[in-house]
Amino acid sequence: MKTGEQAHAPMAISSGRLRLLELAGDGIGPEIVAVTRVVVGAALALQDIEVEFITRDIGFAALEKTGTTFPGEVLDEARACDGVILGPVSHQDYPPTSEGGLNPSGVLRKELDLYANIRPARTRPYVPSPIRTAFDLVIVRENTEGFYADRTMFVGNGEFMPTPDLALAVRKITAQGCRRIALSAFELARQRRRKVTAVHKANVLRISDGLFLDQVRQVAALFPDVAYDEKLVDAMAALLIRIPDQFDVIVTTNMFGDILSDEASELSGSLGMAPSLNSGADHAVAQAQHGSAPDIAGRDIANPVSLIGSAAMLIRWLGVRRDQPALLAAAQDIDEAVERTLSEPALRTRDLGGPSGTRAFGLAVKARLGGSSRHLNAKPSP
Ligand code: ATP
């Protein structure tokens, strides 16, 4: 690394077992988290890595028992564990904060300073996609500020209503927030095809997106070996459909990243496909890109690929930080087993046109672990 600004010394390899916090969440959360646990546990066992899953209630399950959707002790546990596997949450249906409705995802991102949301999406030749052009890109989304009412203020909320017919929302953009997400993007691009595209709306949001672009350009100057360009977010929505193969790493602010990554995920085959890691200097949380999908909850039809892939990203993140090849090998093994499973049409879930249930898909992935990656030279890639 040339910039030096984000270098982390490898953590000491913790003696004993890996401790992963498992938070099932709402809607399809419990189903996809259960399947993810089976796959992760088996992949780590194949590498002789002991793992302890610590289970805590969040969301509606916690609200019933404790009066809040995110009990304080869950945050303490998240700080203490090696990593978190977070199921999707139905936070839009929670009661107001004053009645215990906290968005677990927002709290974790803010409190653990998980500033980088890394969201890869790609097509596969063997999975049907709504577009013909093959692509492989990563959206690097700022995660701790932007247009998110729960992340904007030190005290209070970023959305308010001065009069009954007037609603205001505040968008927070800081130089430090933009700089560190830009560094994440350029460092990632160096491991990939060495191209970064900054997505913005600085023609309208001249000051805030102007600050974002200014910081990204300064970082771009530190990476002369990485190609850099900029796109307006509205144009980008169209370009993702027309020429998705032209993009490698896309860096953008919080809400633009959320919207574009759903689009990229759907273009890759289904919202259930694309993984996502929330990471900061000291913590990381695996979280599917999609939401809690209440319309299909409890029916064993959800696609667990997004969360399984997210957990693989978490294991890889730990492997890189700890310089522990067995963790890298476990992550690679999970990814390869998912690909082998997806390549068989009869094993795919309903969103991909297959007949498989969530659990059956997970067991099929588990059965395909250990195929070709019981080696310790797995490549660390996102
Ligand atoms: P949020 O705002 O919380 O991210 P969302 O509006 O993006 O949520 P989702 O819950 O992600 O909505 O899903 C939208 C629809 O996509 C769901 O109603 C469901 O039909 C489908 N979907 C989402 N995730 C999956 C999945 N893992 N497997 C199958 N279908 C899914």
Write the burial class of residue 340 (CB in 10 Å: 0-12 exposed, 13-18 middle, 19+ buried): middle
Residues 308 and 335 in one domain: yes
Residue-level pLDDT at 7: 38
pLDDT < 50 stretches in the chain = 1-15, 373-382
Task: Assess if residue 230 is contained within a domain.
Answer: yes
CA distance 320 to 96: 39
Cβ of 271 less than 6 Å from ligand 1: yes
Residues 247 and 351 in one domain: no
- The reply to whether 48 belongs to the active site is no
Residues 84 and 204 in one domain: no
Residues 192 and 301 in one domain: no
AA identity, residue 91: H
CA distance 58 to 23: 6
pLDDT (tens digit per residue) in 268-289: 988 899 899 999 999 999 999 9
Residues 248 and 146 in one domain: yes
* Residue 260 and residue 252 in contact, taking contact as beta carbons nearer than 8 Å: yes
Residue-level pLDDT at 372: 61
CA distance 263 to 239: 11
Residues 236 and 291 in one domain: no
Structural domains in the chain (count) = 2
User: Which of 268, 303, 335 is a domain's end point?
Assistant: 268
Residues 219 and 89 in one domain: no
Task: Assess if residue 2 is contained within a domain.
Answer: no
Task: Assess if residue 89 is contained within a domain.
Answer: yes
* Residue 75 and residue 107 in contact, taking contact as beta carbons nearer than 8 Å: yes
Is residue 267 within a helix (H) or strand (E), and if so which, with residue range?
helix 254-267
User: Which of 214, 238, 268 is a domain's end point?
Assistant: 268
- The reply to whether 228 belongs to the active site is no
Task: Assess if residue 286 is contained within a domain.
Answer: yes
Task: At 234, list the tokens.
Answer: 């509205």
Locate the ligand 1 atom nearest the alpha carbon of residue 92 and give its number.
3
Dihedral class, residue 67 (left if φ above 0, else alpha if ψ from -120 to 50, else beta):
left
Going by alpha carbons, the residue nearest to atom 31 of ligand 1 is: 272
Residue-level pLDDT at 11: 42
Residue-level pLDDT at 381: 43
Task: At 66, list the tokens.
Answer: 């404790």
Residues 250 and 195 in one domain: yes
Q: Ligand 1 centre and the CA of 289: distance in Å?
A: 9
Q: Ligand 1 centre and the CA of 222: distance in Å?
A: 38
Going by alpha carbons, the residue nearest to atom 12 of ligand 1 is: 291
Residues 156 and 241 in one domain: yes
Going by alpha carbons, the residue nearest to atom 8 of ligand 1 is: 291
CA atoms within 13 A on the CB side of 344: 13
Going by alpha carbons, the residue nearest to atom 17 of ligand 1 is: 293
| CA angle in degrees (0–180, nearest 5) for 232-233-239 | 90
Task: Assess if residue 290 is contained within a domain.
Answer: yes
Task: Assess if residue 200 is contained within a domain.
Answer: yes
What CATH number is associated with residue 335? Answer: 3.40.718.10
Q: Ligand 1 centre and the CA of 90: distance in Å?
A: 11
pLDDT (tens digit per residue) in 72-94: 999 999 999 999 999 999 999 99
Residue-level pLDDT at 94: 97
CA distance 238 to 166: 32
Q: What is the phi/psi pair of residue 342, to 5°? A: -65, -30
* Residue 110 and residue 83 in contact, taking contact as beta carbons nearer than 8 Å: no
Pocket test for ligand 1, best of 296, 307, 338 (most atoms within 8 A of CB): 296
Q: Ligand 1 centre and the CA of 214: distance in Å?
A: 34
Residue-level pLDDT at 4: 36
Residue-level pLDDT at 16: 61
- The reply to whether 258 belongs to the active site is yes
Task: At 40, list the tokens.
Answer: 């992760």
Structural domain of residue 98, as residue ranges? 16-116+270-382
Residues 212 and 111 in one domain: no
Going by alpha carbons, the residue nearest to atom 20 of ligand 1 is: 293
* Residue 267 and residue 130 in contact, taking contact as beta carbons nearer than 8 Å: yes
CA distance 109 to 125: 34
Residues 255 and 140 in one domain: yes
Q: Which residues contact 330 (CB under 8 A, 6 or more apart)?
A: 40, 43, 44, 46, 47, 49, 315, 319
Q: Which of 233, 159, 229 is nearest to 202 (CA)?
A: 233
Task: Assess if residue 5 is contained within a domain.
Answer: no
Residues 301 and 258 in one domain: no
Residue-level pLDDT at 12: 39
Q: How far is CA 149 from the centre of its chain?
A: 20
Q: Which of 309, 308, 284 is nearest to 81 (CA)?
A: 284
Residue-level pLDDT at 153: 87
Q: Which residues contact 372 (CB under 8 A, 6 or more apart)?
A: 336
Task: Give the Å distances, CA to CA, from 375 to 150, 326, 332, 371.
Answer: 44, 8, 10, 10
User: Which of 242, 268, 294 is a domain's end point?
Assistant: 268
CA distance 70 to 26: 12
Q: Which of 196, 57, 173, 76 is nearest to 115 (CA)?
A: 173
Task: Assess if residue 123 is contained within a domain.
Answer: no
Q: Which of 152, 161, 138, 260 is nearest to 208 (CA)?
A: 152
